[in-house]
Structure 1
Amino acid sequence: MDSIAISNIALPPGDHAELLPEIAAMGVTGLEVAPSRVWSDTWGGLTAAAVETYRSQVEAAGLQVIGLHSLFFDHPGLGLFKGEEAFEATIAFLSHLSAVCRDLGGRTLIYGGGRRRGEMAPTEAAAECDRFLARMLPVMAAHGTKLCFEPLGPKDTDFLNTAAECLDLARTWNHPGLGLQLDAKALVENGETANDTFRAVAGSLDHFHANEPGLAVIGSSGTVPHGDFAAALGAIGYAGWVSVEQRMFAQPDWRHDAAASIAAARRFYGS
């Protein structure tokens, strides 16, 4: 597959205009956007002109925005299971980000952190999630975007951990505004590395994160079987984006790490 992207969390925060051509030259064609990596104010102060400027910079570099992730990084008070005020604010913020995603030319919004139910009963948490989706999914569908719950390991969330749970939710709703995502490190953490996991999502998968524990350089831990995952994706005919999720560890060396991750992703997941 040739649809290899990288998240902008691999870049220094702020102005990326001069950095995006370097990323493209490393061998990717897509960019996944963490909004707070670009803009200091991702909500009230984010203008349509600023969004259009970033899209123009991305496309001038020969890249395309594939979607958004790290949605609540700069708004840790938002998310599910945090009370009614936070619930309403989360609806408003994600509706805004869905429009931003659309205007950037992207499609997927990956909902990772921000969903710990804690002592809330599983049935109560599921009911709140259903109420959330009933409000959000029509907005997503109208924008032509998809909300994807990111499967996460047990250290990262206690609600919708596994790919199987996220698939069940997507099938239950069967809504154009709700997508499905797989995450490489979470597959390992949740014991879902078998080919059956991939066969179950055949025809339904919208997005794949290639990553490592700690969002380290791809292939560096030796614990994530990227070659097996790539083969499994190929076996189900997945033709969507494989997005490298690797964070910047040291600003002077960001190019070295990003290039290493992209080279590894192309080696494992490229055609």
Structure 2
Amino acid sequence: MKLAVSNIAWKEQHDEAVYALMRHYGFTGLEIAPTRFFPEVPYSHLIPMQKLAARLREHGFTLPSMQSLLAGHPELRLFEGTEKREALFAYLKQAVLFAEAGGIRNLVFGSPKNRISHDEKDWETAIDFFTKLAHFASAHGCVIGMEPNPGIYGGNFVTSVKEAIHLCQAIAHPGFKLNLDTGCVITNGELLSLVADKVHMISHVHLSEPMLAPLTPRKRLLTDLKRILEDGGYEHFVSIEMSCPAKGYPIQNMENSLSLVAGIWNQTP
């Protein structure tokens, strides 16, 4: 397993300080929000993305995952008619090509408000939509990571790990897997035993708190998660996910979280 951190947790002016902390604590992955580097029409910047990835590799970082895929596009809806769904599909295809340009394997499909369900038939619509997207992603060396988002984030479709597993099983394609999120597990009161025999279905892991608060020392949860992932042969990234504080200096939060996770993941069994 490898350790990563998502760059939604700090602003650009703190990049170098955080990169130094990442190197210090042995984090080799940088998960990105595309608009963090390319605020306008991010997926049109394929060559700049290639150059950015090369520059970050010089820092010692790979780009394992990207999130906030639909930032700035509330109009792209999965369940509000064919036209909006086709526009969403076309945009996500661009996201896959952008990820491919940066050598990014996992694309986190969160965006709870873009997937509000209105009808029980939406389940079949989702299976059809994500099966097609999985085929496209897989052809470009990528995986769509389905992230369950609890209702506190404003959505109502796939709000639990259990539902996300069910959807992954229904689609049964290597280009569509589970993006496991500890914030979801904590919010819903779910048990990590849900994934104990399904680690092969996990494409990426977010270590987070409800509402993306700074990590707290839930050492039992993190230790159990590490053991389950190790026992299941998980070989991908485990990524810290926090929001950037509206005020203040986020570096202390970052160092606390990096130190916590590194301390647990570097322990020998």
How far apart, in 2, do the equivalents of 1:255 and 1:24 lie?
Answer: 11
How far apart, in 2, do the equivalents of 1:107 and 1:243 lie?
Answer: 14
Amino acid at match of 1:131: D
**Given the alignment, which residue of 70, 73, 96 partners 1:72?**
70
How far apart, in 2, do the equivalents of 1:51 and 1:20 lie?
Answer: 20
Partner of 1:153: 150
CA contact under 8 A between 1:151 and 1:181: conserved in structure 2?
Answer: yes
CA contact under 8 A between 2:65 and 2:107: conserved in structure 1?
Answer: yes
Amino acid at match of 1:152: N
How far apart, in 2, do the equivalents of 1:10 and 1:97 lie?
Answer: 21
Partner of 2:266: 270
SS in structure 2 at match of 1:262: helix
Partner of 1:53: 51
**Which of the pair is proportionally richer in helix?**
2
How far apart, in 1, do the equivalents of 2:53 and 2:206 lie?
Answer: 22
Partner of 2:201: 204
Q: Percent identity?
A: 25
SS in structure 2 at match of 1:180: strand
What is the CA-CA distance between 1:115 and the residue it aligns to?
Answer: 4.1
How far apart, in 2, do the equivalents of 1:67 and 1:78 lie?
Answer: 21
How far apart, in 1, do the equivalents of 2:12 and 2:74 lie?
Answer: 18
Amino acid at match of 1:100: F
The question of 1:98 aligning with 2:96 is answered yes
CA contact under 8 A between 1:248 and 1:257: conserved in structure 2?
Answer: no
SS in structure 2 at match of 1:179: strand
- Correspondence 1:117-132 to 2 at 5 A: 117-118=116-117, 120-122=118-120, 124-132=121-129
How far apart, in 1, do the equivalents of 2:14 and 2:245 lie?
Answer: 18
SS in structure 1 at match of 2:177: coil
SS in structure 1 at match of 2:216: coil
Partner of 2:132: 135
Residue 62 and residue 111 in structure 1: after superposition, are their counterparts in 2 closer, same or farther (change >3 A)?
Answer: same
What is the CA-CA distance between 1:136 and the residue it aligns to?
Answer: 1.2
**What are the superposed Cα offsets for residues 74-98 of structure 1, whole Å, 9 maximum, x if unpaired?**
2222231233332111111111111
What is the CA-CA distance between 1:251 and the residue it aligns to?
Answer: 6.5
Q: TM-score, normalised by structure 1?
A: 0.87
Unaligned runs of 5+ in 2: none
Partner of 1:31: 30
How far apart, in 1, do the equivalents of 2:129 and 2:264 lie?
Answer: 37
Amino acid at match of 2:205: F
CA contact under 8 A between 1:117 and 1:125: conserved in structure 2?
Answer: no
**Which has the larger displacement, 196-205 or 26-35?**
196-205
Unaligned runs of 5+ in 1: none
How far apart, in 1, do the equivalents of 2:116 and 2:246 lie?
Answer: 34
What is the CA-CA distance between 1:25 and the residue it aligns to?
Answer: 2.4
Partner of 1:164: 162
CA contact under 8 A between 2:131 and 2:173: conserved in structure 1?
Answer: no
What is the CA-CA distance between 1:23 and the residue it aligns to?
Answer: 4.6
The question of 1:243 aligning with 2:239 is answered yes
CA contact under 8 A between 1:212 and 1:224: conserved in structure 2?
Answer: no
**Given the alignment, which residue of 172, 175, 178 partners 2:173?**
175
**What are the superposed Cα offsets for residues 137-181 of structure 1, whole Å, 9 maximum, x if unpaired?**
221011010111101212232111222222222222221211222
Aligned pair count? 264
